[in-house]
Chain A
Amino acid sequence: MSATVETRDTVETLTADKYKYGFTTDIAMEEFPKGLNEDIVRLISAKKNEPDWLLAWRLKAFALWRKLEEPAWAHITHPPISYDELYYYAAPSGPAPKSLEEVDPALLDMYEKLGIPLNERAALAGVAVDAVFDSVSVATTFRETLAKAGVIFCPISEAVREHPELVRKYLGSVVPIGDNFFAALNAAVFSDGSFVYIPKGVRCPMELSTYFRINARNTGQFERTLIIADEGASVSYLEGCTAPQRDENQLHAAVVELVALDEAKIKYSTVQNWYPGDAEGKGGIYNFVTKRGACRGRNSKISWTQVETGSAITWKYPSCVLQGDGSVGEFYSVALTHNHQQADTGTKMVHIGRNTTSTIISKGISAGHSNNTYRGLVKIMPNASGARNYTQCDSLLIGDQCGAHTVPYIESRNASAKVEHEATTSKIAEDQLFYCRSRGLSEEDAVGLIVNGFCKDVLKELPMEFAVEAQKLLAVSLEGSVG
């Protein structure tokens, strides 16, 4: 055993600082005064030249937020968040860029460092990126190609101006403004995010992607994403996140709403790699996110895939409301926590329509001093005849100072529905490790290999480019955890 402890110690010293996205970018920023009150909400709205209905909507959300309490049921602990110490709006200063050529070169450099092919010429073919930097969308690539197909992919602030009828119809229709504390906060102060509309019968010609980055100190990021797939449309959307390395905690409270009409399909993939804090648990992002999809139409399908390796705290439950008959909800998740990270994540599948089906595959990996909780709800409503759910939650513990928890809620009110749930918790088997080691793999590599195998059911759901990145991310995040 001492040999492994030694390995662990060596590795820990070697890799004490390996969050490679921890740099900051120095560019001129425009920030509003810190703190949150009605004036800030009005200021954000005015800054974006928003119509009156949206300001009214924000103010209503703000009033609701003040009455709501921060949820306390999740298995996480953190010092109280002072909402008055945060900046609610930060953006690169100066007039908004009209095209890629006008974007601050320092920004383009940063995205280059992050490996996002923002520049179209250098882009990985087939991926259109909307990059959100702190509070505003900086550039959206491949707009023309998408426009030809009739796909709308733009910052949500632009959509408010250009397509108000769509935004007004769907904004807040999946996640109402008073849904929960963080959703209400987001509705009041959201500054930007992505908007996607896929018209009837269109299959989006390329993968869409958003890259989120928190750069400024003491800012909260509150982006809002709205994706609508009209009848028979289909789209695959990717989301990635990073943040600089800072000692203080930063807040990220996003809302994502998906709407799938008849026969529409939405696939939403996330690789979340916000700064997780250092080995002592100092700093890191508080990631309190509300994500929900509504399968409104017949035979519609919404699929969530997430790889969560970052953030000091993750509080996130991408859900599906299966309203349309025959609609399908899927949730594939890998959540990895290390050092002092905390994750409380899972999903909700609400079966309302007949013959609705849902699949939940969740893989949790805890290492170091971290706590990792799967929390999920499967609810079969009385009219959901023939509904079907299959849930599998597996947890892997690495080291004896971490915790792995599973809290599923299963509620069935229809006798013809079939619900199955299974969960296991174990550690990496000695014989698997021994087998790999006897083939000459180092202990680190062996663990990486076994963990990747453990997550395979989820990773195979990711689009190709992301799957490769996710595998590397898992290996990097696990460094120093063997013991």
Chain B
Amino acid sequence: MTALPTQRLESWRYTDLRALGAMSFAEAPAAFPPPELPDIAAPRLVFVNGLFDAASSAALPFARAFLPVAEADELPLARINAEQARDGMTLEIPAGVDAGVVLLVCHASGGALHLRHRVTLGAGAALTLLEVVKGEGVYWHNPVTDIALGQGARLAHYRLQDESREAFHLATIRADVAADAAYESFTAVLGAKLSRAEFHVELSGPKAHTHLNAAQLLGDSQHGDFTSVVRHRAPDCGSRQTVKSVLSDAARGVFQGRIEVERVAQKTDGYQMSQALLLSPAAEMDIKPELRIFADDVKCSHGATIGALDEEQVFYLRSRGIPEEMARAMLVRAFLTEALEPVTHEEAHALFEAAIAAWWSGK
């Protein structure tokens, strides 16, 4: 197997995979209690311990059979995935079709799982993909999702990462966005002992657009890393990114975000904001926003803040008769609002709201 990346690699300087490297994973158990599924009326595709579970899934006209990965990969984790992948979702939405909502559920209870998902949208097609990953026990989930959006296509991609607190979750998501197409995504990071979501979005046609938001809610000694690279390769593209981290106990959050603007990508509009709330003295946040710009007629900005909850705001709410705990919950929820912006689908929004509320009360 290809070696795991080490902290000597600049893109991995804040995330240490040695604990993962020291583990060995037995084959995933065959028997597994049926996964708890979100109550959303939509066709669903379910994967249990890395394999498609036809019994829990709905037949979907756009789903295709899994094909092994042929292409070589330069990202170490995607290379490992390519070597090991045995299954995954393949969706092909034909041009002009609005496929509505599709639910992707991945459940795990053990083993090293290298799912390879592929999503292709033809010109003018539309899809809302709601991805829920959950599990129990110790395992390593290393999914790779490759997304190709045709001209004018639109994919809303919502991810709820709620892995077992003992699990390792390292997801790679790559999207190629053609002219006038839009990739709108939001990731909620709640679970896993150590997690990383790594996005690579290529805006390859004029007027392509992406929203790349996330909320990381971490406690105990959880480590959550959100890494993204947005490459503007054509003129008039836009990218928007808001990443919010709320860290309690001894949790450690990482945000690395790079906006690249190539010479041809004039009139680029790029915006990136990363904010972290440290709720306890032992929490740590590392931020590395990066702009790499080779075109002159651009508007690019990034901002980053790290700090505690503003005690004056807490005081304001308390002086209005709101109990302290509720005041803090309100402020944290308000802090997350901007990140949730791309989630326009009502049921998906409700799902995230419930997950955030559950995290706060169980914190």
Q: With contacts A405-B292, A413-B284, A417-B306 known, is A427 near B279, CB below 8 A?
A: no
Contact A418 B292 (CB under 8 A): no
Cβ of A399 within 8 Å of any chain B Cβ, yes or no, is yes
Residues of B within 8 A of A (CB-CB), count: 34
Say if the beta carbon of A49 comes within 8 Å of chain B: no
Give the dominant DSSP class at A's interface: strand
**Shortest distance in angstroms between A408's beta carbon and chain B's nearest beta carbon?**
6
From the candidates A73, A414, A419, name the one contacting B305 in the complex (CB within 8 A).
Answer: A419
Q: Which of B292, B303, B306 contacts A422 (CB 8 A)?
A: B303
**B27 an interface residue at 8 Å Cβ cutoff?**
no
- Contact check, B301 vs A424: say whether CB atoms are below 8 A apart: yes
Contacts of B156 on A, CB cut-off 8 Å?
none
Interfacial chain A residues near B291, Cβ < 8 Å: 395, 404-407, 423, 425
Q: How many residues on the A side are at the interface (Cβ–Cβ under 8 A)?
A: 35
**B353 CB, min distance to chain A CBs, angstroms:** 26
Q: A418-B307, A419-B305 are in contact. Are A398 and B288 (CB under 8 A)?
A: no
In the assembled complex, B283 has its CB within 8 A of some CB on chain A: yes
**Complex contacts, B10 vs chain A, CB 8 Å:** 73
**Of B284, B286, B306, the contact of A418 (CB 8 Å cutoff):** B306
Docked complex: A396-437 residues within 8 A CB-CB of B: 397-427
Q: Does B281 contact A (CB under 8 A)?
A: yes
Q: Whole-angstrom distance between the alpha carbons of A349 and B302 in the complex?
A: 20
Interface of B, helix, strand, loop or mixed by DSSP: strand
- Decide: B305 and A423 in contact? CB cutoff 8 A: no
Given contacts A422-B302, A424-B301, contact A412 B278 (CB under 8 A): yes
Residue B308 at the A interface, CB < 8 A?
yes
Q: Check A400/B293 contact, CB under 8 A, given A406-B302, A421-B304.
A: no
Q: A418-B307, A419-B307 are in contact. Are A405 and B290 (CB under 8 A)?
A: yes
**Neighbouring A residues of B281 by C-beta, 8 Å:** 382, 414-416
Flag if A425 contacts B300 (CB, 8 Å).
Answer: yes
Indicate if the CB atoms of B308 and A427 lie closer than 8 Å.
no
Q: Measured between alpha carbons, how far is A419 from B283 in the docked complex, in Å? A: 14
Chain B residues, CB < 8 A from A382: 281
| Contact status B303-A423, CB under 8 Å | yes
- A398 to B295 Cα, complex, angstroms: 9
Q: Which chain A residue lies CB-closest to B248? A: A415
B301 touching A425, Cβ below 8 Å: yes
B273 shortest CB reach to chain A, Å? 9
For A385, give the chain B residue with the smallest CB separation: B281
Q: Kindly identify, within residues 274 to 324 of chain B, every residue whose CB is under 8 Å from any CB belonging to chain A.
A: 276, 278-281, 283-308
Residue B18 interfacial (CB < 8 Å): no
CB-nearest residue of chain A relative to B305?
A420
Q: Which residues of A contact B (CB under 8 A)?
A: 73, 380, 382, 395, 397-427
Residues on B lying within 8 angstroms of A by beta carbon are: 10, 263, 266, 276, 278-281, 283-308
Supply 25 A–B pairs (Cβ within 8 Å), ascending by A. Answer: A380-B306, A382-B281, A397-B295, A398-B296, A400-B266, A403-B294, A404-B293, A405-B292, A409-B287, A410-B288, A411-B284, A411-B285, A412-B284, A412-B285, A417-B307, A418-B307, A419-B305, A420-B304, A422-B303, A423-B291, A423-B302, A425-B298, A426-B298, A427-B297, A427-B298
